[in-house]
Structure 1
């Protein structure tokens, strides 16, 4: 499984890179604070909403600590998507939040 650190994601966003981030946490967790511009798809709905995603687009999966996003990464990879897990999740995130 491909992985990237929260710091690497933050640096890439600060450089203006257009990243496609998917937050797989629950609604209340996302409302408490999330990376601006993130797409929210709770892990339990990912299987049903993956038709909204493009296999041509690389995605970075985000959750609280990296566990759920790791499961989401493995699932989407098995379906042919280009996905990377943000290790450490939002606990490791030091960038801007909404």
Structure 2
């Protein structure tokens, strides 16, 4: 019985944490789907926050690589006056990057809802 109660409490805390993080993301960025991405991309900076090897294996056409592991050192390469579209494999890491950019004064931030994992648009691969 104690195990069941503990499991239920863990699930409740995890669910609350998940909802809290979704709320925080909505406060700092617009979560966009592929159609909205195509509307915004022409005037935006597309930033891939996955690690370099993942970027080289395939990335959205026109994206720049700024891995999250080095994001705090290189975020200054992103212009604050232009919209920024962030993506990773899903949405978790790009959400963290969006919150960081918002703290640094960036206001036109977008996060690709499905990430690269479900991307069906044009891609590019880098030769190793």
Q: Alignment partner of 1:3: what SS?
A: strand
Aligned to 1:66: 91
Aligned to 1:12: 39
Scaled by the length of structure 1, the TM-score of the pair is 0.86
Match runs of 1:9-88 below 5 Å: 9=37, 11-12=38-39, 17-81=42-106, 82-88=108-114
Distance 2:31 2:103 in 1: 16
- The offset of 1:78, in angstroms, is 1.2
RMSD: 1.6
Aligned to 2:8: none
Contact 1:7 1:93 in 2 (8 A): no
Contact 2:50 2:66 in 1 (8 A): yes
* C-alpha spacing 1:57/1:18, structure 2 compared with 1 (3 Å): closer
- The offset of 1:8, in angstroms, is 2.4
Distance 1:67 1:51 in 2: 21
Q: Which runs of at least 4 in structure 1 moved beyond 3 Å after TM superposition?
A: none
Count residues in correspondence.
95
Deviations 1:18-68 (A, max 9, x none): 331000001111111101111110001111111212211110001001111
- The offset of 1:83, in angstroms, is 1.3
